[in-house]
């Protein structure tokens, strides 16, 4: 019969077989060893003792303890019920019923929480007659391990051990995720640049994050203009979504560039470049877009310090020519060769000038064509597309400069307006865009936005009145097309914008802002004499004449017989009230709509699109005799170099004539016929 045992430590109750009485057990809940009750009681007098077979003593083994099985749940018996009822009667209603409820309700807990007998090593003490231990083994204090549920916990990333590092030789200190590796990299000069690098190692729960500092000494001439040096180095960084911010460290200038490296995933990259006299420090942090990576970046960049640098030297006052030469020396693929060419190119230029320098794709380290512009003491760099370089007829190794004087006037000693973010949204048919500004202690009086753009060695200037409200905002750029003064101007053109005083005639103009620049692509406009310069390639059998008085072209074909009429096509500027397909679809069936004495159309066909316009074909007259062909009509509207031009005819005899005139008008332009 099973017996009940209680753990002396956690008071857990278990049911075990009777033969385990007096044996050493271990609680499965808390791990505490204990003796299972006491040996079985002797039989009462008069009872025959049960015959006990003599069993040879078992040798203790290290075999596992027998698996305990849960005892069956005992049912309530009628005897217990009678005992409970008797207690209720004898003790009384008040005290008996609670006791009876307890006896009826309490049921021995039979959940097995005790293991079987605990084995001991052979030769140990405390054995009973049957060879089993009767003395509990020492307490382990540990419960049995839980069963494996198959669910594994996610590994926790090991913390990063940051270490302080100092290089007295290069004059900096920083924190790395471990001792940095030092390598020398190829570079000009007698002292090779050095790179210090360390990484947060990759693991199953985290990808690697890398940190590097590259130290390099330069020719002092190359870093004399620190702003140009930093701009050039930042332009070399090929990052997606690149942003740039100016920095200062101990009074020395720097630049921060952020972006993503697309190859291998959107890898986060932040780079900082500092210039300390003729030395540069290039810091790079790169890692995956994980939650903890920005904090790693911050730990690295915030720890960078300069050692014993002294006070920064005041910036040297250099001319625009010297700044341009320094930029060329730092960015050219062959610095010495290009420097000599640059000196020759800039030799005629003097102070107070502006310039544009076109550079072929083989000149710079970037292997891309570019346009460098100088104005108002500032340098502006624009990367050229292949089409823009082609329009400038720029060869692979070409360096072509155009120098020009700035407009008369003077620059304020202190900038009143700070301009930024110039955007030119259209260059033709009119110049349009926006520019952001911040205002300081602005003088009273009207202001103008001065727009300057170079054409060869000449600068064209436009001025528009503006009203600066509040401390900042956006100004609108709006001016006639750049081709208004130079109809054949085309390709990439640098547009320079400044805020100037507008005190009226007789007073010198004062420039009150820094200059900003943008690159606009201009399409050549029509020549000043308009349609008179139009180039036509007429089909065989046709003749073209320009009517100077009416400013129209008439393309005619003589009649086949004396009694028939000739065919006529008219080319003219498109009037303002007839420029869209809808205008013609609504009125082509009206007589005199196209011109006086031009008959109405009886049929209007569907519009067909051209690259720069549209075509509508139709029928002017049908004859009762089906053998007589109808009189056909044609209308074509094109935008030719910014000029809206149309051609039309209402007396064409056949499809061949209509097709010939359509192809002719598709090819007309202000250059050679296409």
**Residues whose CB is less than 8 angstroms from the CB of residue 355 and which lie 6 or more positions away in sequence, other chains included:** 320, 324, 346, 349, 373, 374, 401, 402, 403, 404
Domain with residue 226: its CATH number is: 3.40.1000.10
Q: What are phi and psi of 401, to 5 degrees?
A: -115, 145
Q: Categorise residue 627: left if φ over 0, alpha if ψ from -120 to 50, beta otherwise.
A: alpha
Does 98 map to a domain? no
Buried residues in 505-520 as b, exposed as e (16+ CB within 10 A): eeeebbbbbbbbbbbb
User: Are 424 and 401 in a shared domain?
Assistant: no
Quickly state the pLDDT bin for 578 (edges 50, 70, 90).
Answer: confident
Q: DSSP labels for 172-185?
A: EEEEESSSPEEEE-
**Which domain-ending residue is among 494, 522, 550?**
522
Q: Are 229 and 263 in the same domain?
A: yes
CB neighbourhood size of 16 (10 A): 23
Question: Does one domain contain both 441 and 334?
Answer: no
Measured CA to CA, the distance from residue 329 to residue 226 in angstroms comes to: 13
Q: From the CB of residue 269, how many other CB atoms can be counted at a distance below 10 Å?
A: 20
Mean pLDDT on 525-529: 77
pLDDT surpasses 70 at 664: yes
Residues 352, 481 within the same domain? no
Give the Cα separation of 585 and 588 in Å (integer): 6
- Least confident range from 150-164, 340-354, 446-460: namely 150-164
Domain presence at residue 82: no
Instruction: Show the domain range for 607.
Output: 530-666
The span from the first CA to the last CA of the chain, in angstroms, equals 114
281-298 pLDDT per residue, tens: 999 999 988 888 999 999
> Do 7 and 127 sit in the same domain of this protein?
yes
Pairing label, strands 417-426, 431-439: antiparallel
> 457 and 560: one domain?
no
**460 and 394: one domain?**
no
Coil vs helix vs strand at 296:
helix
Distance in angstroms (rounded) separating the CA atoms of residues 7 and 26 = 9
pTM of the model: 0.46
Question: Looking at the domain assignment, is residue 150 inside a domain?
Answer: no
Same domain, yes or no, for 473 and 602?
A: no
User: pLDDT digits over 134-144, tens only?
Assistant: 455 555 555 55
Residue 114 confidence (pLDDT) above 60: no
When pLDDT is cut at 50, 70 and 90, the band that residue 85 belongs to is low
* Residue 95 located in a structural domain: no
582 in a structural domain: yes
pLDDT in the model for residue 209: 92
Task: Report yes or no on 155 lying in a domain.
Answer: no
Q: Quick one: 187 and 223 in the same domain? A: yes
Burial tier of 318 (Cβ tally within 10 Å: 0-12, 13-18, 19+): middle
Q: Of 522, 556, 582, which residue is a domain's last?
A: 522
Domain count, the chain: 5
In this structure, the answer to whether residues 538 and 647 fall within a common structural domain is yes
Is residue 628 one of the residues assigned to a domain?
A: yes
Q: Considering the chain, what is the average pLDDT of its residues?
A: 80
Answer with the one of 380, 405, 430 that is the final residue of a domain.
Answer: 405
What digits encode the pLDDT tens for the residues 540-563? 999 999 999 999 999 999 998 887
Looking at the fold, whether 540 and 478 belong to one and the same domain comes out as: no
Going by C-beta distance under 8 Å and a sequence separation of 6 or more, which residues neighbour residue 143?
28, 29, 30, 31
CATH number at residue 607: 2.60.120
370-408 pLDDT per residue, tens: 999 999 888 999 999 998 999 888 999 999 998 888 888
Q: Quick check: 61 pLDDT over 90? A: no
Question: Is residue 46's pLDDT more than 70?
Answer: no
- pLDDT above 90 (res 214): yes
User: Rounded to whole angstroms, what are the CA distances from 187 to 192, 193, 218, 341?
Assistant: 6, 6, 10, 23
pLDDT band at 505 (very low <50, low <70, confident <90, very high): low
Question: Is 608 part of a structural domain of the chain?
Answer: yes
Rounded CA gap, 209 and 156, in Å?
17
Residue 107 CB contacts under 8 Å (≥ 6 apart), including other chains: 73, 74, 76
- In DSSP notation, 173-242 reads EEEESSSPEEEE---SSSS--EEEEEEE--BTTB--EEEEEEEEE--TTTSSSHHHHHHHHHHH---EEE
| 420-438 pLDDT per residue, tens | 999 998 777 788 999 999 8
Element (H, E) at 348: none
User: Poorest-confidence range of 209-218, 482-491, 536-545?
Assistant: 482-491
Here the CATH number for the domain that contains residue 504 is: 2.60.40.10
483 plus 570 within the same structural domain: no
Distance CA 33, CA 65 (A): 13
Residue 200 has pLDDT above 60, yes or no: yes
Describe the chain by its helix, strand, coil percentages, rounded to 5.
15, 35, 50
């Amino acid at each position: 019969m099973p017996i009940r045992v209680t753990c002396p430590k956690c008071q857990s109750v278990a049911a075990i077989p009777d033969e385990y009485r007096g044996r050493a057990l271990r609680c499965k809940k808390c791990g505490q060893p204990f003796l299972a009750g006491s040996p079985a009681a002797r039989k009462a007098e008069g009872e025959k003792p049960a015959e006990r077979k003599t069993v040879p003593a078992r040798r203790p083994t290290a075999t596992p303890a027998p698996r305990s099985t849960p005892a069956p749940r005992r049912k309530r018996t009628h005897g217990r019920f009678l005992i409970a009822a008797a207690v209720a009667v004898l003790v009384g209603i008040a005290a008996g019923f609670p006791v009876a409820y307890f006896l009826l309700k309490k049921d021995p807990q039979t959940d097995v929480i005790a293991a079987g007998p605990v084995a001991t090593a052979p030769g140990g003490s405390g054995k009973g007659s049957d060879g089993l231990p009767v003395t509990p083994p020492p307490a382990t204090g540990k419960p049995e391990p839980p069963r494996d549920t198959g669910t594994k916990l996610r590994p926790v990333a090991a913390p990063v051990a940051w270490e302080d590092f100092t290089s007295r030789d290069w004059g900096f200190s920083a924190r790395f995720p471990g001792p940095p590796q030092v390598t020398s990299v190829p570079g000009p000069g007698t002292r090779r640049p050095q790179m210090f690098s360390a990484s947060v190692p990759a693991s199953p729960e985290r990808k690697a994050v890398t940190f590097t500092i590259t130290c390099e000494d330069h020719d002092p001439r190359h870093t004399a203009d620190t702003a140009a040096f930093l701009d050039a180095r930042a332009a070399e960084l090929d990052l997606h979504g690149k942003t740039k911010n100016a920095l200062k460290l101990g009074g020395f200038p720097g630049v921060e560039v952020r972006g993503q490296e697309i190859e291998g995933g959107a890898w986060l990259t932040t780079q900082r470049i500092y210039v300390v006299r003729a030395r540069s420090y290039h810091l790079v942090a790169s890692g995956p877009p994980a939650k903890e990576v920005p904090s790693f970046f911050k730990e690295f960049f915030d720890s960078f310090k300069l050692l014993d640098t002294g006070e920064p030297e005041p910036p040297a006052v250099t001319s625009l020519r010297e700044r341009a030469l320094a930029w060329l020396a730092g960015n050219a693929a062959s610095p010495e060769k290009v420097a000599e060419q640059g000196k020759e190119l800039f030799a005629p230029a003097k102070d107070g000038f502006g310039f544009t320098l076109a550079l072929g794709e083989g000149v710079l380290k970037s292997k891309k064509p570019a346009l460098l512009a100088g104005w108002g003491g500032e340098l502006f760099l624009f990367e050229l597309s292949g089409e823009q370089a082609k329009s400038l007829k720029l060869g692979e190794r070409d360096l072509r400069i155009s120098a020009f004087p700035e407009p008369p006037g003077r620059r304020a000693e202190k900038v009143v307006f700070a301009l930024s973010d110039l955007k030119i949204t259209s260059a033709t048919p009119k110049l349009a865009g926006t520019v952001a500004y911040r205002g300081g202690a602005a003088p009273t009086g009207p202001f103008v936005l001065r727009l300057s753009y170079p054409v060869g060695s000449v600068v064209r200037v436009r001025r528009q009145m503006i009203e600066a409200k509040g401390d900042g905002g956006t100004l609108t750029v709006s001016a006639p097309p750049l081709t208004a003064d130079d109809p054949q101007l085309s390709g990439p053109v640098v547009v320079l914008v400044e805020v100037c005083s507008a005190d009226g005639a007789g007073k010198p103009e004062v420039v009150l802002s820094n200059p900003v620049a943008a690159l606009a692509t201009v399409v050549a406009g029509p020549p000043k004499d308009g349609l008179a310069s139009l180039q036509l390639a007429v089909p065989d059998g046709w003749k073209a004449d320009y009517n100077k008085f009416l400013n129209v072209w008439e393309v005619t074909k003589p009649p086949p017989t004396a009694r028939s009429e000739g065919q006529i096509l008219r080319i003219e500027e498109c009037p303002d009230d007839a420029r869209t397909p809808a205008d013609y679809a609504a009125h082509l069936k009206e007589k005199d709509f196209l011109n006086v004495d031009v008959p109405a159309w009886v049929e209007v066909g569907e519009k067909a699109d051209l690259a720069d316009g549209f075509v509508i074909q139709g029928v002017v007259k049908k004859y009762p005799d089906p053998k007589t062909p109808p009189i056909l009509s044609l209308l074509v509207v094109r935008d030719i170099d910014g000029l809206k031009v149309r051609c039309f005819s209402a007396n064409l005899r056949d499809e061949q004539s209509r097709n010939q005139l359509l192809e002719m008008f598709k090819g007309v332009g202000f250059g050679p016929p296409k």
